[in-house]
Structure 1
Amino acid sequence: MSDKPEDAPKKKGGMKKILIMVIALIVLVGGGVGAGVYAASSGLIGGGHAAAPEEHGPKLIPKSEQKRPAAGGEGGEGHGGGEAASSGGKHTPSGGDGDKYASNYYAMDPQFTSNLQDSVHVIQVGIAVSTPYDDTVIENLKTNDIAVRSAVLLTLGDTPEEQVFSSAGKLQMQQRIAKAINATLEQKEGFGGISNVYFTNFVVQ
């Protein structure tokens, strides 16, 4: 009978140890989860703010957010005298984006003058571009104006004479110029963004 009173304290002591271990385990697990959540939210580990660099790149502008130029308003924005304005475009080469996104237009100034390939004729063209993205693309275009103009002149110089006398040929020229501009912007800025090129003036002499 003397054994029973001694067993009771041992059992109580064992239960206390088990309870302390369980509590310690819960605290450790809870602390680990909390630290993980904090690290993830602060960007210390995967996820978090992984998309942050994209926030600083060009963004597509829905038509509902497009800027409308004031009626009769003129006036360039410096940097070569070109004018940037947003308006609803009818077509973008991505096929259908024109229905969802605004077209941001920019007229390049001054005009371009170049010889044609294997021809005595000279071409003088005014060029405007459009993009469905925000002003980042236009700013990139202005920043790299010299490199872009050089690419356009090289493209014009590679144009055969017969191409400038037909509508189909002029459309091909527009596509080639857009491709040349995008290639230059991608090289300089890592992003093109030009969807269309338009002729605002077209003279062959």
Structure 2
Amino acid sequence: MSDEDKETKKPKKGKGLVTKLLFGLVLLGAGGGGAFGLMAAGVIGGGAHAEKEEPKGPQLVLKGEEDPYAMPAGKGEEEVALVYGEGGSKYRTAYYDFGDDFTSNLKDSDALVQVSLAASTQRDGRVLMWLKEHQTALRSRILVELANTSEDEVFTPEGKDALQKRLTKAINDVLTAREGFGGVDQVYFRSFIVQ
């Protein structure tokens, strides 16, 4: 065999490597293009056509901003134009008055407590609607919290502050269980009588 025949029968080493590299690049390009197409269609990764996700729960309302969930004035109630001052919080505060008083015995005592309550929120009107909608469940939970309060607590400012915080948490717990979001910032005593 001559030297020429040996050269023609040997495969070239570089040709197989180049073919493999080109094949790899084609596969990589196809995979990347497919992933881009799925993302753009919104199938994966929330692409360009995916809907904007709405914030969860009631939103804070700036002073002077329109509340899309504002409760309309009730029968015999006047609409009042709201004018806010420049100081304090930049968010408006809305209040909900629980209609009837709450009366409960106190923990390990013969004494009774009677309170009238209001709740405040800086979030949109959905919180006020939920307070009205779930008033029965809220009243029950508030009475449990009052019954779990000792006589010593109701006579000190610190005890009353702690009770306000517990009532706020209790109300938010009920709203969260029913609606998925609380939204009450503070509970206030409109009247407080211990007998």
Q: Quick check: TM above 0.5?
A: yes
Q: More relative contact order in 1 or in 2 (CA 8 Å, sep 6+)? A: 2
Query: Which residue is 2:53 aligned to?
Result: 51
- Which residue does the alignment assign to 1:156? 146
User: How many angstroms does 1:168 deviate by?
Assistant: 1.5
Q: 2:126 maps to which residue?
A: 136
Structure 2 match to 1:63: 63
Instruction: Indicate if the aligned counterparts of 1:87 and 1:104 stay in contact, CA closer than 8 A.
Output: no
Structure 1 residue 189: Cα displacement: 0.9
Distance verdict in 2 for CA 1:87–1:125, change over 3 Å? farther
RMSD over aligned CA atoms reads: 3.1
The 8 Å contact of residues 124 and 202 in structure 1, kept in 2 or not, is answered as: yes
TM-score calculated relative to the size of structure 2 = 0.65
Report the Cα distance in structure 1 between the residues aligned to 2:155 and 2:52, rounded to whole angstroms: 51
Paired residues, number: 149
Q: Take 2:183 and 2:103, find their aligned partners in 1: how far apart are those partners?
A: 25
Q: Which amino acid is the alignment partner of residue 194 of structure 2?
A: V
* AA at the equivalent of 2:61: I
TM-score normalised by L of structure 1? 0.62
* Percent of aligned pairs sharing the same letter: 42
Unaligned regions of 5+ residues in structure 1, if any?
Answer: 1-28, 68-75, 79-85, 90-97
| Deviation at residue 145 of structure 1 after TM alignment | 1.0
Query: 1:44-94: per-residue Cα shift (whole Å, max 9, x none)?
Result: 654321413x37x31110123278xxxxxxxx848xxxxxxx8879xxxxx
SS at match of 1:180: helix
Specify the code of the residue in structure 2 equivalent to 1:59. Answer: Q
Gaps of 5+ in 2: 1-32, 68-72, 76-81
Given the alignment, which residue of 184, 195, 199 partners 2:185?
A: 195
Query: What residue number does 2:163 align with?
Result: 173
CA distance in structure 1 between the partners assigned to 2:167 and 2:37 by the alignment:
55
The alpha carbon displacement at 1:167 in A equals 1.4
CA distance in 2, matches of 1:144, 1:130: 16
